[in-house]
Amino acid sequence: EIVMTQSPATLSVSPGERANISCRASQSVGSNLAWYQQKPGQSPRLLIYATSTRATGVPARFSGSRSGTEFTLTISSLQTEDSAVYYCQQYYDWPPVTFGGGTRADIK
């Protein structure tokens, strides 16, 4: 089973600042990586799939990148509505698809 490790567990960013969330895979997952956003009391929402493709309706300030087995979700200019928990998910080697443990983004 591929283990996905996210860091940091929590980040606190001021509005307008850049936020980077990392996700490391225990082995190669190619580009088969998705990101989800979950706001309090809501279900997860797909943000990005195939490492860097934004889902329909996702603002351009969200972007994804890859370097080997390390993936990064970048929010270029954090907005107050971006306060949420973010999860990565690999779908290269399944079952099972596996999720990272989550990163909470707080707004200062």
Partner 1 sequence: EVQLVESGGGLVKPGGSLRLSCATSGFTFTSYSISWVRQAPGKGLEWVSSISSSSTYMYYADSVKGRFTVSRDNAENSVYMEMNGLRAEDTAVYYCARALRVGSWLESWGQGTLVTVSS
33-38 and 45-49 beta bridge pairing? antiparallel
Question: Shortest distance, CB of residue 96 to partner 1, whole angstroms?
Answer: 5
Sign of the dihedral defined by the CA atoms of residues 6, 8, 10, 16, in that order: negative
Question: Shortest distance, CB of residue 9 to partner 1, whole angstroms?
Answer: 11
* Rounded-to-integer distance, Cα 35 and Cα 52, Å: 9
> Considering the rule CB under 8 A, would residue 50 count as an interface residue with partner 1?
yes
| 3 beta partners | none
> Considering the rule CB under 8 A, would residue 61 count as an interface residue with partner 1?
no
Nearer to partner 1, 14 or 24 (CB): 24
Q: Which region, judged by CB under 8 A, interacts with partner 1, from 20-28, 64-72, 76-84, 100-108?
A: 100-108
Footprint of partner 1 on 66-95 (CB under 8 A): 87, 89, 91, 94-95
Which one among 5, 63, 76, 102 touches partner 1, defined by CB under 8 A? 102
Torsion angle of the four alpha carbons 95, 20, 7, 34, in this order, in degrees rounded to the nearest 10: -10
